[in-house]
Amino acid sequence: MTPAIILSDALGGQLINLCAAIMLLLGFAMLAQRRILSLINLFMLQGAVLFTSTVIVAYTTHQSHLYWSAGLTLTLKVIALPYILHRLIRKLSVKWDVETILNIPTTMLVGIALVVVAFNVAQPISQLSGTIMRATIGIALACVLLSFLMMITRSKAVPQVIAFLAMENGLFFAATSATYGMPMVVELGIALDVMVGMVIFGVFFFQIRQQFDSLDIRHMERIKEE
């Protein structure tokens, strides 16, 4: 073992931890954000962080297939999806997410509780995992749960979709941190899923708005069968 590699390993670990911290921070920021435009930007930023961390893992561990995953992340989550979302909200001309079901401070408190739960739950997995990123599994899980929480508390369709995509980010992060990424086939499949999901949501938005003149999904309660 040459000192250079050891140094690189240690530095890599540090950098990944930094990325993980930023991911978590962004997760909370999204939870607190009410403006849709900022939400999309935060989502893009989260994608960029995810890309950086994947590249670092790929570089320090010499897992060449992770570069592919990183490339996918970059094209899909940093470029394609934010672009589509921007276009969508321009077309739909929605800027504000007026109200959430829970108010923001309460949501943040619940979020903190979730992070504690996530760390607690992730502990045995981290001990099993032999990767250099094992400390970040808890954070990845926390990201997933925070996005889930966001999906529950938002009442408009667009933020919900962003939350859904952010949850996928968290899952991806969890996968890279626990096992250096999933097999390529699975990743490709998920990327395709996200793409298709996006298209469907796009169609769906317009349909909802046509039906109810609003993107408020609470209107959907009306279509429940009595």
Residue with Cβ nearer another protein (62 or 222): 222
Binding to another protein (CB under 8 A) within 120-139 occurs at: 120-121, 123-124
**17: exposed, middle or buried (Cβ count in 10 Å: 0-12, 13-18, 19+):** middle
Question: Cα(188)–Cα(69) distance, rounded to whole angstroms?
Answer: 8
If binding is defined by CB under 8 A, does position 224 make contact with another protein? yes
Q: Which region among 31-39, 42-50, 85-93, 142-150 touches another protein (by CB under 8 A)?
A: 142-150
If binding is defined by CB under 8 A, does position 115 make contact with another protein? no
Considering only 15, 37, 117, 175, the residue that binds another protein (CB under 8 A) is 117
Decide if 78 contacts 48 (C-beta within 8 A).
yes
Binding to another protein (CB under 8 A) within 159-188 occurs at: 160
**Measuring CA to CA, which residue among 68, 40, 54 is closest to residue 12?**
54
CB 159 to another protein: min, Å: 12
Residue with Cβ nearer another protein (59 or 164): 164
Number of separate helices (H) and strands (E) present in the chain: 8, 0
Sequence-separated (6 or more) residues with CB below 8 Å from residue 206: 92
Q: Which region among 4-12, 30-38, 115-123, 200-208 touches another protein (by CB under 8 A)?
A: 115-123
User: What angle separates helix 64-73 from helix 157-179, to the nearest 10 degrees?
Assistant: 170
Sites of contact with another protein (CB under 8 A)? 101, 117, 120-121, 123-124, 141, 145, 148-149, 151-153, 155, 160, 217-218, 220-224
